[in-house]
Amino acid sequence: MNKTVKFAIVGCGVIGKLHAKQLSQIDSAELVGFADIIPARADNYAAEFGGKPYYDYRQMLSQTDADVISICTPSGLHGEMAIEAAQHGKHVIVEKPMDIKLEVAMAMTKACREAGLLIGARRMLEA
């Protein structure tokens, strides 16, 4: 039985676009939300890939039914976002590096592990 996995992306810049493009090519993946502090970016991603735009990632975390949050923001922002995603019951994919501080990366891992969730760091490459 194939299950559709729902993804939401935080950060609608260049890296977010790579994540969205690659996820949109997977039959069992569905893009359900895009969050960016620049509203036009989130709107454009939602128009191109489907899903709902959000202008605050916290709102997206509380309102979306995503299974996985793909964090594509600058490295120093990953920690807080990943921990909050885990608190909302979302698995986490983080664009490399996980964070710029080891202790933050460890806290991210701990939050996901304690919530029974997966976390992984990934560098998406243009195919």
For residue 48, CA distances in Å to 12, 21, 32, 104 come to: 12, 10, 12, 33
CA distance 90 to 17: 20
Which pLDDT score, from 0 to 100, does residue 21 have? 95
What per-residue confidence (pLDDT) applies to 95? Answer: 87
**Predicted local distance difference test score (pLDDT) of residue 122:** 76
Q: pLDDT at position 113, please?
A: 95
Q: Consecutive sets of 10 residues in the chain, 127 residues long: mean pLDDT of each?
A: 90 94 95 98 97 97 97 92 97 90 94 94 63
Check residue 125 and give its pLDDT. Answer: 55
Q: What pLDDT shows up at residue 43?
A: 98
Task: Determine the pLDDT at residue 127.
Answer: 47
Q: How far apart are CA 10 and CA 7, in angstroms?
A: 10
Q: Mind listing the pLDDT tens digit for each residue in 78-88?
A: 999 999 999 99
List, in sequence order, every residue forming a beta bridge with 30; answer none if it has no partner.
Answer: 6
| DSSP element (H, E) containing 33 | strand 29-35
Q: In angstroms, what is the C-alpha Rg of the chain?
A: 13
Q: Could you tell me the pTM of the whole model?
A: 0.92
